């Protein structure tokens, strides 16, 4: 009886390991998910300078995914994936400036009730360079 239990425990362990490997292989390059443990340990969100009102990992994840989609990029475009709080990349510093611009426009110029707000996609349209008709190149 103990041999059968040991056999099934070993089999279940192998199945779980196989599932973990399969899930990991299906992840897109440089794609991350902000997990609760990392958030609680302060490994994500340590260097939030513009998005200071972010209160949860889910909120930060949604914002970052929106920015990535709007520019058609992955996390590593702005972040050093080995140290997300690092400011080594110029694109991250530029993104902060752009976020401040968008926040200022929405706060100071489009501040009436029901107004359509602007976001990264308003200008970028899935590209790293803004895609505005008539804009100088």
pLDDT, tens only, 67-91: 999 999 999 999 998 888 889 999 9
Beta bridge partners of 80: 83
Q: Does the global pTM surpass 0.85? A: no
User: Residue 56: what pLDDT?
Assistant: 84
Cβ partners under 8 Å of residue 34, min gap 6: 44, 57, 58, 60, 61, 64
DSSP reduced 3-state for 83: strand
User: In the Cβ-directed half-sphere of 54, how many Cα atoms lie within 13 Å?
Assistant: 19
Rounded Cα distance between 60 and 46, Å, is 12
User: Residue 72: what pLDDT?
Assistant: 96
Mind listing the domains of the chain with CATH numbers? 31-124 (1.10.468.10)
Q: How many CB atoms lie within 10 A of CB 51?
A: 14
pLDDT average, residue stretch 94-99: 94
> Is 98's pLDDT higher than 90?
yes
CB 78, CB 30: distance < 8 Å: no
CB 75, CB 64: distance < 8 Å: yes
> Is 119's pLDDT higher than 90?
yes
pLDDT average, residue stretch 127-132: 89
Rounded Cα distance between 127 and 62, Å, is 19
């Amino acid at each position: 009886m103990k041999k059968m239990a040991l056999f099934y425990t070993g089999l279940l362990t192998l199945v779980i390991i196989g599932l973990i490997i399969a899930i990991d292989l299906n992840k897109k390059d440089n794609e991350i998910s902000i997990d609760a443990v990392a958030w609680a340990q302060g490994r994500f969100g340590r260097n939030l300078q513009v998005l200071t009102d972010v209160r949860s990992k889910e909120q930060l994840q949604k914002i970052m995914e929106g920015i990535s989609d709007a520019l058609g990029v992955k996390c590593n475009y702005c972040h050093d994936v080995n140290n997300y709080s690092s400011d080594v990349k110029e694109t991250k510093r530029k993104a902060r400036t752009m976020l401040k611009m968008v926040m200022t426009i929405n706060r100071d110029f489009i501040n009436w009730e029901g107004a359509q707000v602007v976001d990264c996609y308003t200008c970028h349209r899935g590209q790293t360079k803004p895609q505005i008709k008539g804009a100088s190149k």
